[in-house]
Structure 1
Amino acid sequence: MSSSEMEQFLFSDIFTCSRGKRLIEEDQIAGDIAYISSTKYNNGISGYITPPDVMTHYENKITLSNSGSVGYAFYHDYEFVASDHVTVIGIKEPSVFLTREIALYLKPVFEFMRYKYNFGREISDERLKKERVLLPIDAQGNPDWTLMQTYIGSLSRSIKWDSIQCVRKEPKLYVSDWHLFRMDEIFDFYKGKRLTKENMTPGDTNFIGAISTDNGIRQRIDEDPLYLGNCITVNYNGSVGEAFYQKDPFWASDDVNVLCLKRDLAELNVYLAMFLITIIKQNKHAFDFGRKWNLPKMKSTLIGLPVAPDGTPDWAFMEEYIKSLAYSDKL
């Protein structure tokens, strides 16, 4: 879309806005209605409540945080209520239905205002109404909602989208019968191998570096893998203590230790790996760039694991616990 197809509109000419209502945490009763607050996480949902009668119920609207995490916008195609730190936005023209695609187009348009505001300068209703937003226009000079719909739709076709079902159930995690184990009682340890940038060429093998993002994959290289996968990598340098499950064959840098679950204990899978990684990462606070988690220290580090009646790690419980968590089917 070129700039000639765009025009600025006064916010209040195109959109409706209304403020949510304050409900302090002490007055919140658990329930099934999404409560939207000024958080930038979890689509703005801070919890699920049974709202009092004085709160307005909304559906198929966009919310904009006017305080807290100022300027973050989220689309809600479900019933919700909002705090007074949130502005609820709809389309003013009654004939235009706010679809998911239109909402996703508008999200970055609204969030572009963020640079003007912060915790000390909130987005008040009056300021919002005076804002100008840049939108594509049709032949009559009105916002081109059809173009927004089709543009996002065209992008969506190239993105894999796994629908999820919202299930709110408390996972069961017993707290008794946990024992401490040295890490070398649970894992066999292997070292990565140094490979300088000068000797790297692009390829298909995952190169695991001491980073905290992208599952530890720094890049892909044209080298035979050092390890076949189905193991855990732990950084002892760089982003010390970050741990990842490696499903596929890979090359590990010399700043990374490779941990394989001892064969006589259990067969590692993604569910056990997620449980063990969470436990391993609890030790991050004890190490940093200046105090490396070297191999001798890592081997002797104690980790707590649930145990069966015979005192051995309860692998079945660990696996079932991870499977009980929301979104575990996406692992």
Structure 2
Amino acid sequence: MSKDLKLSSLEWKEFKLNDLFERIEKGKCQNTNKETKESINGVSFLSATLNNNGVSGFVEPNYLLQKGNCIMFVNQGDGGAGYSVYKKEDFISTTSNSFGYAKWINRYTGLFVASILCRFKEKYSFGYGRTENRLRKDKVFLPINSKGQPNWEFMENYMRKIEEKQKQKAIKYYSDKIKNLQNSLMKNKFDLNDIEWKEFKISEIFNIFTGATIRQSDLIKGKIPRITATNLNNGIAFFTQETNNYNFKKFENFISISFLGSVFYQPKEVSLDMKIHGIKIKDRELNTHIALFLIPIIKRFSFKYTYGYQLSTSILKAQKLQLPVNSKGQPNWEFMENFMRKIEYKKLNIYLDYIKNKTATN
């Protein structure tokens, strides 16, 4: 591995994308509903999005399957045009994306080049899509070797070095978390079958509040998450600034429940859209572990709500939850918190072993 892995240590040169890739092909799926079938255990379905590494779902593999180990180009879409990402796995994609293949591509060179190609997001938009002709003519600066060719060895080693740094940080972070959890967990038992359960109305144990309508045109781009009825991204649709509108209110450390039934924990300060409810425990502060215990229980009733049958405040107040109770017949918040800590402890150990083994094999 090269000793000097600084980006400034090498000369850089401009290359046309058409010269870098042996072939560039478009995605093959023209009609998602007719040509694909959803499957949790299927292959990645790629759409024109900059979220989740381009993955919008999973589908059964079929004749539309394309090979991975390539670079994905989002050609059009609101917010995704110009985005690029390395794809390791095989996939099925909409025709809104293109894919570049070459012998030089591996996980590390792919990540290096894709990160540079993302700069084209500034060039392309929904109104100015990336056509095949524009894509092939786009130019990118890359580090070069003594022969004036792309220095793939440097790029790979540079990304390996970054990955190793991140792995070591992750190992320390998760090791420290496991150590902090270990002592408290050894003193308690957390069997769901060994504790009494009782039914409570939401209104008995939670304070309830609801967001209000503000026209999106009156909101300015900022840093405050705006929670809407989406079931993605923890309910966050976009980020805004605080306004003087009397309907603009901020809340933090609560569970959000939309009128369509999506449920999320909101630890930080957010703004709520119309018909987004929030609940806080009346007699104590909520925390991550208690919230994670409550959310699956809340989802048992929230899943049934739709546009035709919405979850109103009055309906929410009357909903009932089965919760573990203490000797006084009150919700046993301590048990709930420690039960989720135990699950976190197990998951952290699994993840830490995965990181260490991955480090050892690379």
Shorter-chain TM range is: 0.5 to 0.7
Match of 2:203 in 1: 181
1:156 aligns with 2:171: no
TM-score by length of 1: 0.56
SS at match of 1:34: strand
Alpha-carbon distance in structure 1 between the residues aligned to 2:95 and 2:337: 41
Alpha-carbon distance in structure 1 between the residues aligned to 2:160 and 2:55: 25
Match of 2:25 among 12, 18, 26: 18
Return the structure number with greater helix share: 2
Match of 2:66 in 1: 57
Match of 1:128 among 131, 135, 139: 135
Alpha-carbon distance in structure 2 between the residues aligned to 1:49 and 1:117: 28
Match of 1:271 among 289, 295, 305: 289
Structure 1 185/140 Cα, relative in aligned 2: closer, same or farther at 3 Å? Answer: closer
1:84 aligns with 2:106: no
Alpha-carbon distance in structure 1 between the residues aligned to 2:96 and 2:52: 16
Mind listing any 5+ residue stretches in structure 1 that lack a counterpart?
163-176, 187-210, 214-237, 246-251, 253-258, 280-300
Alpha-carbon distance in structure 2 between the residues aligned to 1:29 and 1:324: 33
What amino acid does structure 2 have at the position aligned with 1:149?
Answer: E
1:116 aligns with 2:138: no
Q: Is the 8 A contact 1:274 1:322 kept in 2?
A: no
Alpha-carbon distance in structure 1 between the residues aligned to 2:319 and 2:337: 12
What amino acid does structure 2 have at the position aligned with 1:29?
Answer: K
Match of 2:37 in 1: 29
TM-score by length of 2: 0.52
What amino acid does structure 1 have at the position aligned with 2:14?
Answer: Q
Q: Is the 8 A contact 2:83 2:120 kept in 1?
A: no
Shift of 1:183: 5.1
Shift of 1:184: 6.0
Matches within 5 A, 1:309-320: none
Match of 1:106 among 100, 113, 135: 113
Structure 1 44/185 Cα, relative in aligned 2: closer, same or farther at 3 Å? Answer: closer
Q: Is the 8 A contact 2:289 2:336 kept in 1?
A: no
Structure 1 269/121 Cα, relative in aligned 2: closer, same or farther at 3 Å? Answer: closer
Mind listing any 5+ residue stretches in structure 2 that lack a counterpart?
1-6, 172-198, 209-222, 226-247, 256-267, 269-279, 299-315, 352-362
Alpha-carbon distance in structure 1 between the residues aligned to 2:109 and 2:93: 21
Alpha-carbon distance in structure 2 between the residues aligned to 1:118 and 1:37: 15
What amino acid does structure 2 have at the position aligned with 1:59?
Answer: G
Q: Is the 8 A contact 2:46 2:56 kept in 1?
A: yes
What amino acid does structure 2 have at the position aligned with 1:72?
Answer: Y
Shift of 1:142: 0.5
Structure 1 89/305 Cα, relative in aligned 2: closer, same or farther at 3 Å? Answer: farther
Q: Is the 8 A contact 1:67 1:86 kept in 2?
A: yes
Structure 1 102/126 Cα, relative in aligned 2: closer, same or farther at 3 Å? Answer: same
What amino acid does structure 1 have at the position aligned with 2:96?
Answer: H
Structure 1 312/75 Cα, relative in aligned 2: closer, same or farther at 3 Å? Answer: farther
The share of aligned pairs that are identical, in percent, is 27
Match of 2:359 in 1: none
What amino acid does structure 2 have at the position aligned with 1:63?
Answer: M
Match of 2:251 in 1: 241
Alpha-carbon distance in structure 2 between the residues aligned to 1:322 and 1:212: 29
Task: Write the deviation string for residues 190-224 of structure 1: whole angstroms up to 9, x where unpaired.
Answer: xxxxxxxxxxxxxxxxxxxxx858xxxxxxxxxxx
Aligned residue pairs total 228
